[in-house]
Amino acid sequence: MVLDAHLDTPLVLDRPGFDISARHDPMHDYAQIDLPRMREGGLDGGFWVIYTPQGDLTPQGYEDALAHAWHRNSVIDKMMTDHADDFMPATTADDAVTIVAQGKHVVYKSIENAYPLGMDITRLDAFYDAGVRMVGLVHMTNNQFADSSTDPDGPKWNGLSPLGEALIQRANELGMIVDMSHAHDVALAQAIDLSTTPVILSHSGAGHLYEHPRNVGDALLLDLAASGGVIHINSLSAYLKDLDTDPARGAALSALFKQLHENPLKSEADTKAFLKARRDIDTKYPPDFASFDDVMAHIYHAHELMGAAHIGIGLDWDGGGGVDGLQDITGLPNITLAMREAGFSDQDIGAMWSKNLLRVLRYVEDARNLP
Amino acid sequence: MVLDAHLDTPLVLDRPGFDISARHDPMHDYAQIDLPRMREGGLDGGFWVIYTPQGDLTPQGYEDALAHAWHRNSVIDKMMTDHADDFMPATTADDAVTIVAQGKHVVYKSIENAYPLGMDITRLDAFYDAGVRMVGLVHMTNNQFADSSTDPDGPKWNGLSPLGEALIQRANELGMIVDMSHAHDVALAQAIDLSTTPVILSHSGAGHLYEHPRNVGDALLLDLAASGGVIHINSLSAYLKDLDTDPARGAALSALFKQLHENPLKSEADTKAFLKARRDIDTKYPPDFASFDDVMAHIYHAHELMGAAHIGIGLDWDGGGGVDGLQDITGLPNITLAMREAGFSDQDIGAMWSKNLLRVLRYVEDARNLP
């Protein structure tokens, strides 16, 4: 069974004209996942992400974000109801087994950025009821719960805020996996100590290979492993190695995505204009990709450091992932081949593709303990 | 095809232990709809309601209500994903035809009480994207959009507020049916004038038979019919005729529902305690039901007044509906029998059971016109 811990495809699902049952080209349509390629690449599913961009820490900001998050949740549900023969909702580890046995695809839900919960952590309960089983506390900048690894102003809370600690406790009580990708190292270390269940990184890399704030160094990875946690390896090029990309490219892309967030696509014509604007940026400032071997290097390093039981796959599809030789999920079998060539056992390969993630989910389920 | 314009069953769906595929007893389980009885009663589906109780007209009130409404939406989606072989999402009039042809049940979505949209009517767009095709402006008390027919303080806006007018315009642009059940007569009259598409009453009665504020008088019903609209007849006993019910019963039920709203059921034990409390109220203050003939009297009166093209069925199941001889949907065939005995043609009966509602939906779809 092949699961990915962090599928950002819900960002693509509500693009006017997007059809998940049709095949897309990653470099022309900017869509890395659809049913034909899931079948070809052997991706059975994973955690489909309710992502909310960070905004102001104000009542209005929280209200807007909450509406945004619930809408994103409904987009995932719409995919399942529109394609009930292909996708099935999963909330327990056993569900994945049953769903794959029926030849269908597995839809777990996760939250990336808990910002929409505002100052009321019990808002998490309704997301649990809606099927969410993983919560990522923070994204690119600090929020009310935790410091981000990439906030340009540096840490605000020195790790977790008191509300962030309460949120982890609530996730433990409900039976949700705590995802610390994007969090500052100090917040990650605190979460490992505080959480009564193993913490995961849903899409991160090895700081030993490239000291980027989104990656995690060896000492902390060993702490993660010692607590039963799992790092899922990312394929976002700029986190895998030091790339000499024109900063103007990043600025142009940021401007485009800001515009997209403020003016959501309303029609297929809007979608076409957006995709053309993205291609124009690629032409003007060509992307600088890491390679397939760079992804494998992070996997190998994590494997050498922690052993197979603490590694998984979270390639950040439709959220920035993609390298030369692995621009969409059709390349997943090459990861398996490479792992085989590197001498990994079938059992280890199976652990990395899904069993480690399901082990954590099972732990979290069993620990569910509402007061 | 048999559709009901107002199914409050989403209120029941997330009761811990409730299983829509199991059969329930209306007077013991307080659940009037499930799959076995949909099959027995021949109910193909209808509009499943995202209902939000009215709260304070404050930013905090709006935020709480928005979270509540999206959660209710996710409860409907969960029913569809958990029972994908039985329920299918419908957003167009044609969808109902296709779904019924497959032997499945039809799930349109509607909003009852637009209060959760706060002061930002563009929040309606995300609900459209999530599949909502009907919006009811107001509930038991006045809100930011319209006067309610039952606010103890009387009208606040003299009909629609300016924001309510803008909301109707947005619903017209998006392609959503405007539902004026619960609205004050003045607001209904204004909506009929203002809306560019026919307005409906999803669950109301004839004021000529019983002058209750939730019912609508003949003159206004004729205006509704002249604009192409449809009244869907309700079965809530207290609106059908003057009943001599002990006021203590209403007070006890209100207190129970207030408690339920503030402390949602968390476990099957909670559900059992809640249902027992309801049964205890029924024992202490026995309910006083109108009769099957009273429901039929409202249908006959509307038919005599407006003709078959402007009548539909919205019996308020799981929202207060139910009379002696019609306590759940297993009794629906008796309505058809009674209409036949009253001399209604098969064509008229078909119009009332679904075709009128679908005609309005088709009109609204065709008029969709985003600026």
Residues contacting B279, CB < 8 A, separation 6+: B28
- In the prediction, which pLDDT does A371 show? 83
Grade residue B167 by pLDDT with cuts at 50, 70 and 90. Answer: very high
- In the prediction, which pLDDT does B160 show? 98
B71 vs A130: CB contact, 8 Å cut-off?
yes
Query: Residue B52: is it exposed, middle or buried by C-beta count within 10 angstroms (0-12/13-18/19+)?
Result: buried
Q: CB contact, 8 Å: B314 with chain A? A: no
Question: How many residues in chain A?
Answer: 371
Query: Under CATH, what is the fold of the domain A3-244+291-367?
Result: TIM Barrel (3.20.20)
Residue with tokens 């269908």: A104
Which residue of chain B is at minimal alpha-carbon distance from A131? Answer: B78
Answer whether residue B360 shows pLDDT above 90.
Answer: yes
Q: Rounded distance, CA B24 to CA B34, Å? A: 7
pLDDT tens readout for residues A181-192: 999 999 999 999
A93 in Cβ contact with A366 (< 8 Å): no
Grade residue A210 by pLDDT with cuts at 50, 70 and 90. Answer: very high
Average pLDDT of chain B to the nearest whole number? 96
Q: How many CB atoms lie within 10 A of CB A271?
A: 16
- In the prediction, which pLDDT does A262 show? 86
- In the prediction, which pLDDT does B264 show? 86
Mean predicted confidence (pLDDT) in A298-306: 97
When CB atoms are compared, the residue of B77, B88, B123 closest to A74 is B77
Enumerate the domain spans of chain B: 3-244+291-367, 245-287
pLDDT tens readout for residues B81-123: 999 999 999 999 999 999 999 999 999 999 999 999 999 999 9
* A263 DSSP 8-state letter: S
Grade residue A325 by pLDDT with cuts at 50, 70 and 90. Answer: very high
A222 in Cβ contact with A306 (< 8 Å): yes
Of residues A210, A173, A169, A175, the one with CA closest to residue A193: A169
Rg (CA), chain B: 19
pLDDT tens readout for residues A10-30: 999 999 999 999 999 999 999
The three-class DSSP label of residue B57 is coil
Q: CB contact, 8 Å: A84 with chain B? A: yes
The three-class DSSP label of residue A165 is helix
Q: Rounded distance, CA B167 to CA B157, Å? A: 15
- In the prediction, which pLDDT does A264 show? 86
Q: Rounded distance, CA A123 to CA A117, Å? A: 6
Answer whether residue A261 shows pLDDT above 90.
Answer: no
Percent of chain A with pLDDT over 90: 95
Q: Rounded distance, CA A234 to CA A206, Å? A: 9
Q: CB contact, 8 Å: A121 with chain B? A: no
- Residue B67 with chain A: CB contacts under 8 Å: 66, 70, 123, 126
Q: Which of B11, B71, B82 would you mutate first to test chain A, the one with the most A CBs within 10 A?
A: B71
How close, in Å, is residue B321 to chain A by CA atoms? 27
Q: Which two tokens stand for residue B317?
A: 């199941």
Q: How many CB atoms lie within 10 A of CB A106?
A: 24
Residues contacting B306, CB < 8 A, separation 6+: B221, B222, B224, B225, B231
Answer whether residue B367 shows pLDDT above 90.
Answer: yes
Long-range contacts of B120-125 (CB under 8 A, 24+ apart): B121/B163, B121/B166, B121/B167, B121/B170, B122/B170, B123/A67, B123/B66, B124/B167, B124/B170, B124/B171, B124/B174, B124/B176, B125/B170, B125/B174
Q: CB contact, 8 Å: A60 with chain B? A: yes
Query: Residue B122: is it exposed, middle or buried by C-beta count within 10 angstroms (0-12/13-18/19+)?
Result: exposed
Q: How many CB atoms lie within 10 A of CB A120?
A: 14
pLDDT tens readout for residues A47-81: 999 999 999 999 889 989 999 999 999 999 999 99
The three-class DSSP label of residue B132 is strand
Residue with tokens 């102003």: A153
Grade residue A149 by pLDDT with cuts at 50, 70 and 90. Answer: very high
Task: State ipTM.
Answer: 0.80
